Amino acid sequence: MEPPIPCQDAGRSGILSNGWHVLIVSDGAGSSSHSHIASDFCVSRLHTLLEEADLTTVSTAVEADMLTSEDWHRWIVALFGQTREGLLRMGEAHGYRPEQLHCTLLLVIRTPRAFLCAHVGDGRAGYFDGSPKPLMVPFMTFTAGATYFLVKEGWDLVFRASVNKPERPAELAYYFVSTDGCQNYIIDHTRKGPKTGMYDDILGDEAFYDFNMPYHPFFQGLILSLTEVDTQEQINERLQRLVATGVYVCNGEEKELKSISDLALDDDKTLLFAFKHS
């Protein structure tokens, strides 16, 4: 019997020494034989680099409300580059070719004043502060096979980083980052969005954009379900079950969300989700 295909997604969350919350996900390409190894390596390596980094300059700028997206880009692109270099070295040591290590990489950091985001490739991230808002523009959404991978040459041209300040920080209810396997139900598909121009510099008229707005009803229902239980272990179990199987539990009832469990949409799904537990 053939062994099951390993999950090619990876995710990691944590809290840095200065109290900032970190969410990282990576989506390995299905056509890349060791992408599950690559995605796991990248989320772990980037998390370690953030833990070891001297955050003084960035932290001071954040506290002074003076960190620009351009400054953040210059700082964080170096850590993505070090993650990529480590991935290539690991691959060489194990005899893996670069094309066997294709994966995306997405980062969201929550600071007291802003979200610091960076990514290569597609995936989704957003938050709610009285209204839903996106945190990053994925590369070539809903275009099969058109994403970009960290290990490829030219990754730094596709790399994007941004500083996002909530308009109503006191109303911040949740934020998230996910691989593209979740986008069919966490993103609002009822409207079409304007062309953002985020990738026009490298793609021109071939760039593709969608509305890219979090679907708030899904997250409202998810919070209702997760706040019914008391422990972090129970919260994680419900979230993992929902994302993996489409089974939503609330008020003692189990419901299967077809938009998640439909086999036609079978893809690895990773959703890291932080919410206010009142």
Q: Which tens digit of pLDDT belongs to each residue from 213-245? A: 999 999 999 999 999 999 999 999 999 999 888
pLDDT of residue 234: 95
pLDDT of residue 2: 44
**Which residue's entry shows tokens 């034989």?**
33
- State how far Cα 32 lies from the chain centre: 20
Q: Which residue type is seen at 159? A: F
Q: Which CATH class is domain 9-121+134-167?
A: alpha beta
- What average pLDDT is seen over the chain? 92
29-48 mean pLDDT:
95
User: Could you count the other beta carbons within 10 Å of the beta carbon of residue 168?
Assistant: 10
Higher pLDDT, 239 or 267: 239
Is residue 89 pLDDT above 70, yes or no?
Answer: yes
Eight-state DSSP code of residue 269: -
CA atoms within 13 A on the CB side of 76: 27
pLDDT of residue 210: 85
pLDDT of residue 143: 67
Least confident range from 85-99, 202-216, 228-242: namely: 202-216
Q: Which two tokens stand for residue 9?
A: 């997604």
Domain locations along the chain:
9-121+134-167
pTM summary value: 0.94
The continuous run of DSSP H or E covering 273 comes out as strand 271-275
Is residue 83 pLDDT above 90, yes or no?
Answer: yes
Question: What is the longest distance spanned by two Cα atoms in the chain?
Answer: 59
Is residue 6 pLDDT above 80, yes or no?
Answer: yes
The continuous run of DSSP H or E covering 26 comes out as strand 21-27
Instruction: Give 99's pLDDT tier (boundaries 50, 70, 90).
Output: very high
What gap in Å lies between CA 122 and CA 134, rounded to an integer?
A: 13
Least confident range from 5-9, 57-61, 128-132, 271-275: namely: 5-9
What gap in Å lies between CA 196 and CA 96, rounded to an integer?
A: 37
- List of residues 6+ apart from 274 with CB closer than 8 A: 13, 21, 23, 110, 174, 175, 176
Q: Which two tokens stand for residue 117?
A: 């985001």
User: Could you count the other beta carbons within 10 Å of the beta carbon of residue 207?
Assistant: 18
The continuous run of DSSP H or E covering 133 comes out as strand 132-134
pLDDT in tens, 131-157: 999 999 999 876 656 789 999 999 999
pLDDT in tens, 172-191: 999 999 999 899 899 998 87
The continuous run of DSSP H or E covering 155 comes out as helix 155-158
C-beta separation of 8 from 39 below 8 A:
yes
C-beta separation of 192 from 210 below 8 A:
yes
C-beta separation of 42 from 87 below 8 A:
yes
pLDDT of residue 250: 93
